[in-house]
Amino acid sequence: MWTINRYPGAWLLPALLPVILLTVYPIGHALWTSLHEVMILFPGEPFVGLKNYQRVIVGDYFGVALRNSLVFTLIAAPSVVVFGTLIALFLQKRFFGSQVLRSVVLLPWVLPGAISAVLWVWVFHPSFGFLNGLMIDLGVIDTPIGWLTNPRTALGAVIVAHVWTQIPFAVVLMMAALSTINGETLEAAAIDCRSAWKRFRYVILPEIKSMIVVLLVYNALTAFTSYDIVYAMTGGGPGTATTLLSFQIWRESFSMYDFGAGSAVAFIVVLISAMLIVAITRALPSDLFAGE
């Protein structure tokens, strides 16, 4: 008799097989590749141990790319969550045009990264960009600022563009979380407490804490592996101002044809991502992983 108790492994297979095929195998293959010299221009794939890891870590770009990726993540992920939460709280209110506004807020979500990048290049462009034009018209500046071409402002500019693309998803999830809060609880809180901040701090926040953790983890991973929008806006420049670790994976693999080194960088990214997840879940305990 086929029962779950007698053959638990067999019953799990339909769920496990896709995971094995689509996740475990590629990761395993990437690990194997990172330990071999896999250069598409050379025949053979000899085992080289940790040589690929050593080469990329002591290379010219690793330090600065790691620093940029961490700065990018540490600013972008919390920004997305904060702005996403604020916008979700605002959109929860019913007012004239609120339905239309909810749709408009979702617009950045439907744009591909490359399109968003082109849009933001036109916003930040020194010669014909909207932002410089506005600031000059308002008398804030006399000469245009090279937002994307000045090493001091480029990373900030691409973070703004990245955050803009990620906010809609955060808004949707946060609105879903807010909608699960009992209406009577909110009414009682409104009667008992006049401070909106205190109502948020003591009534709403505990209810949406799990979602905040989910969003922080998701956005930390998205930011740490961000590639398309930054690549299309600055190509990693000027100099190394916006060079991220994800660039190194691509550059090693496809520009330098060295899939071994590219996989080594990818594995380092995986390890750091895992550490980020642990750090976030430890720093913000919630009942999200209560079953562990």
Partner 1 sequence: MQLRKLLTASAIAVGLAAQPTIAQDITLEFVVWNYSLETVQDNVAKFEAENPGIKVNVTDYAWPDYNDSLILRIRGNTPTDVVYGGQDWLPAWGAAGFIAPLDSVAPAGAIDELTKDIAGFALTDVTYDGKVYGLPYYSDTISFIYNKKILEDNGIPVPTTWEEVTAAAEKLKAGGMDKPIIYEYDQELPNFYDAFVAQSYGRGAEMFDADLNPLFADPGNGAYKQLQWLADAWSKGLVQPDSHESTIIPAMNTGNHAFTVVFTYVLAALNDAATQPLAGQFAIAPMPGETHSTLGFAKSYVITAKTAADPARAEAAWKFVNFMAGKPYTVAKRWAVEKGLGFGQLPLFEDQDVITAWGKWADVAALGKQASIAKAGTYTEFSSVWSAYFRPLLAQAMVGETPVDEVMKAGAQRWTELKQQFASR
Chain positions contacting partner 1, by CB under 8 A: 40-43, 60-61, 114, 121, 125-128, 143-144, 146, 148-149, 151, 231, 233-240, 243, 247, 250-251, 253-258
Q: Name the residue nearer to partner 1 (CB basis): 127 or 195.
A: 127
Q: Record the tokens describing residue 55, joined without a space.
A: 């080469």
- Please tell me the distance from the alpha carbon of residue 6 to that of residue 1, in angstroms, as a whole number: 8
CB of 243 to partner 1, least distance (A): 7
Amino acid occupying residue 76: A
Is the CB of 203 or the CB of 249 nearer to partner 1? 249
Minimal distance in Å, beta carbon 50 to partner 1? 19
Nearer to partner 1, 61 or 72 (CB): 61
Rounded Cα distance, 209 and 288, in Å: 9
Q: Which is nearer to partner 1, 105 or 159 (CB)?
A: 159
Nearer to partner 1, 258 or 280 (CB): 258
Q: How far is the CB of 237 from partner 1 (least distance, A)?
A: 5
Q: Cβ 6 to partner 1, closest distance in Å? A: 42
Q: How far is the CB of 19 from partner 1 (least distance, A)?
A: 23
